[in-house]
Structure 1
Amino acid sequence: MSVEADVDLYDSETFAALDYAPDGILKHLNTGAYTFETGATLPQIVLGYETWGTLNKDASNAVFVAHALTGDSHVAQGASSEAGWWDGFVGPGQTVDTERYFVVAANMVGGCSGSTGPASPDPNGKAWGSRFPFTTIKDSVRLESRLADALGIKVWHTVLGGSLGGARALEWAVEFPERVRNCVVVAATAESSAEQIAFAQAQTAVIRLDPDFAGGDYYENERVPSAGLGIARRIAHITYRTAAELDVRFGRAAQGAEEPVAGPGKGRGRYQVESYLDHQADKLVSRFDANSYVVLTEALMSHDVARGHGSMQGALGRLGGVRFLVGAVDSDRLYWPEQSELLARSLPDPCNVHYITSPIGHDGFLTDIEQLREVLNREILT
Structure 2
Amino acid sequence: MRVKIIRKEFSGVEFCPEMRVLHLGGQSSANVERLYFELPEEWQGKSVTLHIQQQDGTLPAPILLDEEHSVAVGKAFTAAKCGSWMLLALGEDGYRALTRPTKYDCYETLATDGDAEISPTQYETFVAQVLVYANSAQNSAKEARNSAASAKKDAAIAQMAQNTAQTAAAQAVVAQQSVESDADRAEAAAERAELTAPSDGAVRSVNGKGGVVTLTADDLGAVPEGSAGYVKAVRLVGQTLTLTFGDGSTQTLQTKDTTSLENMTGVLAVEHGGTGKSTPMTAADVGAVEEGGAAYVKNVALNGRTLTLTLGSGEQTSYTIPTATADTLGLVKVGENLSVEEDGTLTVTSDNVAAALGYSPAQVTASTTDLTAGSSALTAGAVYLVYQ
Q: TM-score when scaled to structure 2?
A: 0.25
Give 1 or 2: higher strand fraction. Answer: 2
Higher relative contact order, chain-length normalized (CA < 8 Å, sep 6+):
1
